[in-house]
Structure 1
Amino acid sequence: MKHYRIIGENNWFIRLLIPYVLIVILALSTGGMIYQQTLSLVGEEARNNNMHMLEQVRSTLDGRLAEIDTMVTQVANDPKLVQLQKIKEPFEHTNTFKLLAARKSLYNFSVSNTFILDYLVVYRNSDVVIAPSLLYKSDAFYELILNYDKLSYEQWHRVFFEENCCKRFLPAMQAIYKNKSRSIVTYSYPLGSSPIAAQGSVVVLIDNEQVNQLLKGLAADHNGWAYIADENGNVISSIGDYIEFDPNFLDNSSDFIPPSAQTNGNMITHIRSDENGWYYVLAQSPHIVLEKVDYIKRITISMAIVFLIMGMILAYLFTVRNSRKVSNVLENNLTLQEEIKNQEPFLLSSFIERLLNGDIVSGSMMESMMKHLHLPPHISFVATAIVHIHPMNGSEEHRLKDLDRLRVLLKGVHRSCKIASVHFYDAAEDTLVLLFMEHHADPNECVFKMERTFEMMTNLTASEPNVSVNIAVGGIYAMLIDVSRSYGEAKQALNYLNRQQQQGIKWFHELPDLSDTHYYPNEIENQLMNNAKAGNFDEVEMLLDNIYDENFRKRNVSPSIQKLLLYEMAGSLLKLKEQLSLEDEMHVHTLLHQMIDMDNTVEVFRFMRQRYTWISKQLLLRKKSRNVQLMENIQQYIQYHYGNPNLNLDTIADHVGISRVYLSKFFKEQTNTNFSDYLESLRMEKACAMLRETEITVSEITRQSGYSSTNTFSRAFKRIHGINPTMYRDNFSE
């Protein structure tokens, strides 16, 4: 009541409070303006980002579809495939041979587009389906190779064998293709140059999962969705629970449609392809976009509250200081004493922190602080313990709430069991430090109190689901100045529990003897670096497991020795970075800072393992890229020189600069066939084409195909095809 009387008797409080209230109002007004401006800018930024992402997806898909169109046009206009449209009895006379030859010719069309699962040619008159690796009648093909979940055989046959041939896309449907469940977008293109006269179609099976991968990068939140529709508004591919819009509505709307009942509360962004007229539509929940704005709003409100509180406190302090009445001075003294009393928990926490860190070395300073905090002056028993709390699952917000709740429960243990000699210190969100201090007490009784405290804590957390607690106890000493020593021993015990992946209570005196050396010999370092440079992922993992077992499980290595090991391993990483010219994504400097700031060396080692794994994978990718380039050079050389009778492994090895033995092994690994068989197959393919399409003599074909004599060529031809070259040419001329 005296405080209220002081404020009522003079107007200093109100006079000083008014300017601060005005400042708060000004700050709130400025914050409101910033909020509105930010809302507009963030909304515009979101629209631009969405439009940019949609344009990237559209550009990628247009490019892929253009590649497919180019390949399909080549297949549809291939004379060998077009002439088979007239065949009605595919398995009579030489028709079977023609079909087989046509199937083989499909291999000539290179397919490097990852969107394509396979491509087929269907013939109406003969009711046949051919592909590079198969030849079936339509019913057998539908039963054994490809069947759609939502199409019966009759419906499928009607679409591809009975209706008019035209260029069209079928929306994504689930299907069983070659005994695997797939989501497929089907593209049909008429065979030949005249769609009206076409009696067959080229059918491309497009992997809808590849299309969905593009869309998943757009709809990031769980309420978002996206779809692609053709020029008529038919949805080709989609993700999420989408709302299908009429094409006329999209054409008559701007690229950005704000949230409304028609959009189910989502923000809609859409574009249309200039290549094929397809629509690309993206929906995003507004709260994702406004998250940044809400953050600024919270900051503004928090600042306003802080300013208001500071203004009231300063106004009150100035009022008390400038008051001329003695009673105000007395009240100020009482207020100051009450404030000091309120600050005692914070002062005690600061005192414990300095004890743990070993910052107090003066006996007089220690006695003064203990007297001020009303602690007993003469301590004969001190010990520390670290309680580490592990919430097993849940979001970060729930995890923090659980940690706060558990810390409160654990701090209440000493009150429930009436132990007044334990003090708590919050070392981290998930870590409590317990400081036991006794004045003229029996050590055995003190140890009993500690054990009772730990038992109460473990019983308390045992009833908590998905929570585990580790308790590490340092040594027991008789002087308060040894608190930092006990704390260091407790950290060693906790580090040991983490390394061994154990749970429970661990006393420092229970630890095995410390090892003064770590395990990282030069030969292990060389093996680790060499295997990483070679991209041998499994070997690198095995070596790292061995290093971890030796230094973190089999040996009780002190944290300082463990950090020395980690510094040496970081040095190995820096050597690799310089030798391999790797970029800064290795984060080696970040790793070094972590080793300085973190006490958990197990976590640092885990990060070190990730860096070595990243290096191995990067170099493995480089190795694969070099192999692809080498194989392309070899195949190109063979294509240019297959007509040379002297072409062999030696000449190719000299050309590409590798040994003959390595070339033979490499060629076998890449093609699954040996070099001689591959060369003979290529020469026979070229010879067959010349026999069918030209009138040059067999002897000239022999020379151009790379054979040294006509007899050798004829024997090889008959061995492979069952007939001699002349008969083969006669069959085609008939």
Structure 2
Amino acid sequence: MPKYSTIFRKFLVSYLIILIIPSIAGYVSYRTSISVTQSISIENSVTQLQRSQEILERRMVEVEGFTRQLALNPDLNKLMNERKQGDEVNVYGIWSMVKQVTPFSQTNDFLQNYFIYLNNYDVIFTQGSAYFRPEHYYQNFRYPDLTVEEWKKEVLGQTHRSEIMPLRSYMSNSKQTSVITYMQSLPLDSFSGSSPATVVVIINEENISNLLAGLEDRYGGWAHISDAQGNTIGVRGISETDAKKLSLDTELDKAKTSQFYNDDLVITIHSDKNGWTYRAGVPRQVLMENANQIKYITWLVTGIAILLGLLAGLLLSYRNSAPINRLLGVMKEHFGKDGIAERNEYDFLQGNISNMITSNRQLELELKRQLPLVRDGFLKRLIAGEFHTTEEIAAAAAQADMRFSSDGGYVGILRINGYSGMDSVEILNELAAARLILKQALTDAVNELPMTDLGSDRIVMIWTVQQEEAGGLAWRQQISETLEKLAQVAYSEYKISVTAAFGDSYPAIMDVSHSYEQAKQMMEYAEFSSKNSIIWFSDSRLETATYYYPLDIEQRLISTIRAGDPDEAKRMLLSVMEKNTENQQLSPEMKQQLVGELKGTLLKLLDQKAFMESELLHTLKNQMIGIQASDALSAIQDEMIEIVNALCGVINSKKNNAHIQMVEDIKQFIAEAYGDSELTLYRIAEKVERPEKYISQLFKEVTDVNVSDYLEMIRIEQASLLLRTDACTVDEIAARVGYNSSHSFRRAFKRVMGVAPSSYRQSINI
């Protein structure tokens, strides 16, 4: 859990909201699927019941058709219209009718049990037999709840028009069952009283129940058929008592086709043909079996998705909040903690970052405003020889946003004539305007020409040229032509007269100050000789009779050796020797003085603290004293180069010792504070009082390891020691060695050690 849990919670809540939205959509889709599945199941159940209704009504129509065929049978009409004479019975006619009606039972299972009663003969005949006394028939086929007289009266003695007796108990050859009875008087137009004949069809309840078996077998439900008066016609899967009780329950809406009653779906349809009511019940769990499968799959998938989404939300919340928390930590260290109490974290960050951006813009504007001053200061330091190494010059040039196209060139001084010794306000203003005009003209003529003011009437110019062409006549000619045109324009338009003096060409940027000193000498010579033209130091070289070793070169040589740069010190020493041997021959006296000056320079360095503590002090001192002016200059040069290298080696050794000590201090601080999860490169730099980039490069150079890698190595080493015991869990060890989470600790441990922490602990215990 991040240190600032508020941001973590805000991220997590936002991810949860995003997760809830599709979950709601999924729930709506799920409810729609359940509703559609339920509707389809109800529709299938209604269709099943309607199919059973159609089959039953078709069978009943066949039964009615059977009675109509009998009504049209001429033999039966003849038989039932005959008058009985005494005890005589038309036996032949009766047996003929028995043979004619027998095949009907083979076409419809509803016609398997029926009889025809002839009133005139008081005879009952069925398929395959005839009973000349109805009592004999009633002995085998009867209703237990009716006596013979009641049976004769209700069934045989009345006129019936497609009349159906509701379900009731029935004995058939001592076998009890339940039947419904269909009764039709013949002829069909019989109205009242006794009719000549009566057709009675006894339909077994099982034949009707079998038509409803699909609802019970498929759904495990029940079915009930009742006539218009509510009497039971057929029942399956439920007792007749429970079925009647359900029909009389006021909570059941008789007008609805489908409705849920208790735990069943009750389907009710009404027949328009005979007024019968067909009612079926399907258990809810069976009906919703498909819907339940959808529900289980939906909840399973939704649950897994929510769980994975929650885990992803936790991970993303931590990953996104951790950088903000670290940024908050840095902000609190620099800007204080009071702002968060009054505002939330985002307002705190927004306010401080906004202030930083505003301050940065103000700083940029201020730097741009001061950039000309920075450039002017850089150029003044450069021509004064205040830089000790080329790296220092490069850094200062980058800070001043200045670039030199090459390392070589010329330094020149441009003087405005006619104002020597004048220092009134009006004169100074006039000189300032003249300098501005001349610098603008030079800028138009030469792009990016470095210039700086020297006093009120002089401008220093640094002309950069290619090193192989430095000192060549082509560049001198080009510079002279440019300045001559400038002088002509300045005089013709502004009445400004100028004089230019140039030093010798410098081969490296470190020699700019030397070329500048030469230009100064030539300007002094021009003032002394009253020359108003362009003069070059190289043109006056042969006129001097002394040795070349100016004071600025000596100071620069001392600074270079103190900086520990042997290559630059060697180059400067060779340059001095070259200046004194090129185009001139030193006299023995001048040679002795030059060698004495060089030895004096080297002896001055030995008075520095860095050399006083060196073991080479006496050796180097004796080596310097042993140099004789009578030796050849080449031998003297080699001897001095050897001494210069030794001096620079002493300096670099001191530097390396200081660097090593600083790295040791950094290691010591890391060893003490590795358990702090807030330990950063900034904190380490603050501890050793050096810039972050400096200590990062220094640590890498000395140890060949990055600071961050070294910190991770120390943490993992300490963690491996703790894992050797069972005193702490992996999560506790992660917190103790400075990791914000056990997950990041496990990844780091496996990256360094090659195995997971738990595996490492197991291998140790084995």
TM range (shorter): 0.3 to 0.5
- TM-score, reference length from structure 2: 0.38
- TM-score, reference length from structure 1: 0.40
